[in-house]
């Protein structure tokens, strides 16, 4: 991949990640996160880790983000209005943006700071090497992550359901409304 295309995809990933932070609507935040994950998958594929890139696209951008979208739609979270007239967050954001810009300038201006490509193993990016690392070195973290995602999904569904006493109270009030309307 040419360097200019790699820099373009890197910049696109950064802009999409800022979109996750800046957006007020939760659905738009998640769509920006999907774009970020897809661009990172393209960068993995460009670096020769084709299996990891496709797994990134299929698992994270495909399956997990769709679950997050369904949970957000199920919870029906309204977007927050834009803050008006608050100077402190804008000032801190401007300082953070200028710091990021200066770090990027320092990184790209010095060729010694760039990461040099080293010799890769013959099975780099293959399914067997990924499985060996994932299920040998990171098995506990992998299992804990899956349980955490399951607990988050169950918790979101439990929060979205109305309380049972509210349903019983509503059912008890309906006959009284019908009697009042008939009488």
Query: DSSP state, 49?
Result: -
Convert the pLDDT of each residue in 48-79 to its tens digit.
888 888 888 888 878 887 777 777 777 776 65
Q: Where is 167: in which H helix or E strand?
A: helix 164-182
pLDDT tier at 115 (50, 70, 90 boundaries)? low
Q: Is the pLDDT of residue 31 over 70?
A: yes
Q: Which parts of 110-138 fold into alpha helices (H)?
A: 127-132
- Considering Cα of 128, then 54, then 29, then 159, what sign does the dihedral take? negative
Q: Which parts of 64-138 fold into alpha helices (H)?
A: 65-75, 87-109, 127-132
User: In whole numbers, what is the pLDDT of the chain averaged over residues?
Assistant: 76
CA distances for 47 relative to 11, 44, 91, 132, 133, angstroms: 16, 5, 37, 20, 19
| pLDDT for the residue numbered 183 | 56
CA distances for 170 relative to 157, 165, 166, 176, 178, angstroms: 21, 8, 6, 10, 13
Region 36-56 average pLDDT: 87
Q: Is the pLDDT of residue 83 over 70?
A: no
* Rg, Å, the chain Cα set: 24
State the Cα–Cα distance between residues 54 and 56, nearest whole angstrom.
5
Least confident of 88-97, 105-114, 163-172: 105-114
Share of the chain above pLDDT 70, in %: 69
Convert the pLDDT of each residue in 124-152 to its tens digit.
767 788 788 888 888 898 888 889 888 88
Length of the chain in terms of residues written: 183
| pLDDT for the residue numbered 113 | 44
Region 32-48 average pLDDT: 89
């Amino acid at each position: 991949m040419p360097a200019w295309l790699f820099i373009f995809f890197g910049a696109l990933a950064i802009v999409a990640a800022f979109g996750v932070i800046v957006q007020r609507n939760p659905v738009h935040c998640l769509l920006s996160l999907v774009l970020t994950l897809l661009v990172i998958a393209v960068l993995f594929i460009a670096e020769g880790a084709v299996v990891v890139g496709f797994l990134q696209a299929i698992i994270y951008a495909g399956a997990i983000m769709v679950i997050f979208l369904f949970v957000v739609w199920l919870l029906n979270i309204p977007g927050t209005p834009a803050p008006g007239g608050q100077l402190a967050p804008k000032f801190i954001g401007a300082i953070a943006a200028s710091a990021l810009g200066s770090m990027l300038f320092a990184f790209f201006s010095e060729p010694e700071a760039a990461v040099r490509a080293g010799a890769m193993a013959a099975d780099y990016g293959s399914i067997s090497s990924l499985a060996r690392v994932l299920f040998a070195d990171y098995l506990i973290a992998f299992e804990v992550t899956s349980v955490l995602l399951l607990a988050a999904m169950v918790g979101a569904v439990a929060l979205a359901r109305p309380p049972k006493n509210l349903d019983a109270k509503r059912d008890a009030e309906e006959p009284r409304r019908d009697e009042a309307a008939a009488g």
